[in-house]
Amino acid sequence: MQPNPMRAGVERGEVQIGTWITMVRTPSILALLKAAGLDFARVDMEHTSLSMETIADMAVLARALNFPIAVRPPKANREWITRLLDVGVWNLHCPQVESAVHAAEIVAASRYAPRGLRGNGGPGVATDFDSTGTAMERREFANRQVFVTVMLETEAAFADLDAIAAMDGIDALTLGPADLAQDLGVFGSPDQARVLDEKRDLILAAAKKHGKTCAMLAASFEQVQQWKQAGALLLAYSSDAEVLRSGFSQAMARIKG
């Protein structure tokens, strides 16, 4: 069975730069992103029309290319976590994690016993159709490779930040800037950037304290440098839709004068 390259990179302490996939459905986008020099893609199911079948096709190609995808499900619950892991996704980007109780449920759904109670599926992409070794060895391998990032998107979630960061099975921490700003009542206000940076600093401190990874979204070169220097290892730069829109807008402005 193939190891998870995202986890391997994090364990080596390497900064990894990815982007969000929010629109492009063809799995070949992964080959393009790899050729462009990116390290991973983060695929969004929460706010897009991407289907489970599309994710399954992407997961197979991601493994073949050794180019990892992380998937944000519509909801971080047992049903979605089980299905995503079973089609070959190693990396889960879990939205709206509200408490330590919720984080523990995510861990239980994503790991086999004794670390959790992940459901048992048959041979498939998740095991590379590999039947060598014992079933217990394959389960232990899967437990080591799964990588779970949790998103804190409300003020209430930060009350449990330390407990979530300390939890075995939670590998990385981040926030959802737009939803968090909305919950805090600062969305669109002059204070939004400052307030969100204060929350990011809390996440960075908790990750450092408990030896976890910090993930950040960056909309510019300057933000990439800011959070890389602050110690974040997983940086998602922009998205497929934003890069396409920006590129075509710049081209049309020049072509049309």
- Residue 237 has phi, psi (to 5 degrees) of -95, 115
pLDDT of residue 180: 98
Mutual orientation of helices 192-210 and 177-184 as an angle, nearest 10°? Answer: 120
pTM comes to 0.96
pLDDT of residue 159: 97
CATH topology of domain 5-256: TIM Barrel (3.20.20)
Residues of the chain under the 70 pLDDT cut: none
pLDDT of residue 31: 98
Give the closest residue to 203 by CA, choosing from 181, 232, 179: 232
**What are the start-end ranges of the E strands in 73-212?**
91-94, 147-152, 172-175
pLDDT of residue 21: 98
Give the closest residue to 116 by CA, choosing from 124, 107, 126: 107
**Structural domain boundaries in the chain:** 5-256
pLDDT of residue 1: 79
Instruction: Let me know: does 103 contact 167? Beta carbons within 8 Å.
Output: yes
Give the closest residue to 231 by CA, choosing from 214, 209, 249: 214
- Residue 239 has phi, psi (to 5 degrees) of -155, 170
Instruction: Let me know: does 121 contact 84? Beta carbons within 8 Å.
Output: no
The per-residue b/e assignment along 32-52, b for 16 or more CB within 10 angstroms, e otherwise, is ebbeeebbbbbbbbbebebee
Instruction: Let me know: does 139 contact 111? Beta carbons within 8 Å.
Output: no
pLDDT of residue 132: 87
